[in-house]
Amino acid sequence: MKRIGIMTTGGDCSGLNTVIQRLYRAASLRGWQTIGILDGTDGLCETPPRIIEFNDNTLPIEAARLAGSFLHNGRAQALNFETAAKTGKLEKFNKQLRKSLLELKLDAVILIGGNGSLSLAWCNREIYNGLQLICIPKTIDMDIPLTDKTIGFNTAVQQLTSFCDQLMLTARSHHRWFVTQTMGRDCGQLALNAGIAIGATAILIPEIKFDVDSLINHIKKSPTDYGIILVSEGISLRGHSGKPADMISRKLTAAGIMNRTAYPEHTQRVGDTTAADRILAARMADCAIHAIENNETYVMTAINDCTCKTVSLQQFFESGEVTPDPNIPDIKTSDAYISPDDPLLDIATDMGIYIGETK
């Protein structure tokens, strides 16, 4: 009988509970024992490690649609990779993780995380030596290399779209523009997808340079006197500081364009998991279980060309743009961004959306 551990790390998103429940269900049908590691690597740093034994009543199927993680994603004040690196305790931290995993007598660990968590897993892979490490990509940022989809992204797009749909109604009533700031860090996928869904007037993303004067002219030439300008949190404006939406708003106000800012913030991370994300969670859970059966390790589940299969963590790491982690000294993260030939960019342009200086 195999004994597997499941943990969620990094930022939360919708779909985590779905993949946890599907993993447990598939494992139990095989007669495997499943434990949940609470608070990710934080839980492994406690003595004894903080875990929960799964059974049929631990996470009911009707609760699997809910946002957040039943296993939690860590505490801000706990010792983790970031705080350990900053305080010179990284070696001690890694040894504690290794010690806890050995104490739990696991055959495999399934880590559900974003590009930072997966990069850390690869860069510190000796922690999992002798265990099967299977990673499942989740993030609302869609910034993980080698997969067309990540758990949580579809629900986040729906949440942001619903938020903007309501803003559009009050925008029309008051002949006003709303500068709405999205999450996504340095990747513009969330803003781009939601922007096309709502028919935004403009979408500003980190990957494409934009010109404020061109943006203003585009708004002034709009057939309507209201609308949404989506601004990804990762954009920058030379000579200006502060929140990106505030910077753009000030420029529009100076040009005589009536506007307000809006911040959906963490509502983008929540919401009942969409059917698309639930199906994706089930597919990736199934792929992870088969990877354990096939004795694979140091792999990540991925969706490409509608096929779900595993890719090596090394390939994942080396396929992205490897950059220093802003929060963890001497650690690098593999990032994916919007490609210049992404068809959604052409679609946005064809819809009359200002997307930046693309030509």
Q: What confidence category does residue 89 fall into, taking pLDDT thresholds of 50, 70 and 90?
A: confident
Task: Flag whether pLDDT at 329 surpasses 90.
Answer: no
Rounded to the nearest 5°, which phi and psi values hold at 151? -60, 135
Q: Choosing from 39, 141, 143, 186, which is the catalytic residue?
A: 141
pLDDT at 244 (0 to 100): 97
- Give the residues across from 232 on adjacent strands: 182
* pLDDT tens figures, 219-242: 999 999 999 999 999 999 888 889
Could you tell me which residue, 134 or 89, shows the higher pLDDT? 134
Which of residues 86 and 206 earns the better pLDDT score? 206
pLDDT digits (tens, 9 = 90+) for 257-284: 999 999 999 999 999 999 999 999 999 9
The answer to whether 175 and 225 have CB atoms below 8 angstroms apart is yes
Nearest residue to 180 (alpha-carbon basis) of 196, 158, 195, 199:
195
pLDDT at position 74 is 86
The residue written with tokens 């509970």 in the block is 17
Residues 40-56 pLDDT 10s: 999 999 999 999 999 99
Q: Is the pLDDT of residue 290 over 60?
A: yes
For the chain, what's the residue count? Answer: 359
Residue 299 pLDDT grade (very low, low, confident, very high; cuts 50, 70, 90): very high
What would the DSSP string read from start to end of 40-57?
A: THHHHTSSS--EEE--TT
Q: Please state the φ and ψ torsions of residue 282, each to the nearest 5 degrees.
A: -65, -40
Residue 75 has pLDDT above 90, yes or no: no
Q: Enumerate residues 6+ apart whose C-beta is below 8 A from 91.
A: none
Per-residue confidence (pLDDT) for residue 78, from 0 to 100 = 78
Task: Match 């990762």 to its residue by tokens.
Answer: 234
Residue 359 has pLDDT above 80, yes or no: no
Q: What angle do CA 319, 324, 330 make, to 5 degrees?
A: 115
Instruction: Please say if 141 is a catalytic residue.
Output: yes
The more confidently predicted of residues 227 and 329 is 227
All structural domains of the chain, each given as residue ranges with its CATH number in brackets, are 3-152+273-319 (3.40.50.450), 155-269+340-350 (3.40.50.460)
Region 96-101 average pLDDT? 96
What gap in Å lies between CA 269 and CA 187, rounded to an integer? Answer: 16
DSSP state of 76: T
